[in-house]
Amino acid sequence: MTTYHGSCFCGAIRFEAEGDLSQGTMRCNCSFCRKMRYWEMRLPDPEQFRLTHGAELLAETPRRQDDGMNMHHLFCSRCGTRLWTEGQMEELGGRFVMVCVNALDDVPEAELIAAPVFYADGAHDNWWNPAPETRHL
């Protein structure tokens, strides 16, 4: 387990997250993830996420429709950097936190390159199976 440090582009929001990129990351083909170029690492324990600075500048992406999902996508209201998603889903084991890999500051390039990526087929509500095409993600 590694303690990663993350922040937004302008540095106003900072966090720490304990996880392991070598255990896998995820990208998805749903409309949100495609538009946001979302690349995430789910933390094994949501209690291992700590916001260390800038809570007052957090903003949340409003939901476009009521899809029944309890997910909150957080970003910096000053510079717009996507930071993490948190929520509650029984399919994910209850409460979860997924940090945006792009927001991690201290990850060596070699570790990013080596991190396995699962491409989920969220566009067809088939989240647990691979997307049929991934080159555009």
DSSP-derived 3-state class of residue 123 = helix
pTM of the model: 0.89
Query: The domain containing residue 24 runs over which residues?
Result: 2-125
131 assigned to some structural domain: no
Number of H helices, E strands in the chain: 2, 11
Q: Is the pLDDT of residue 63 over 80?
A: no
Determine the average pLDDT of the residues in 110-128: 93
Does 86 reside within a domain?
yes
- The Cα 16–Cα 52 span in angstroms is 7
Q: Which residue has the higher pLDDT, 33 or 48?
A: 48
Residue 104 falls within a domain, yes or no?
Answer: yes
User: Looking at the predicted structure, is the pLDDT value of residue 130 above 90?
Assistant: yes
Residue 130 and residue 126: Cα distance in Å, rounded?
A: 8
Assess if residue 36 is contained within a domain: yes
**Residue 134: inside a domain:** no
Q: How many domains does the chain fold into?
A: 1
Give the domain CATH number at 73: 2.170.150.70
135 belongs to a structural domain:
no
57 within some domain: yes
CA atoms within 13 A of residue 122's CA, in its CB half-sphere? 16
Q: How far apart are CA 34 and CA 111, in angstroms?
A: 23
pLDDT in tens, 68-104: 678 899 999 999 999 999 999 887 789 999 999 999 9
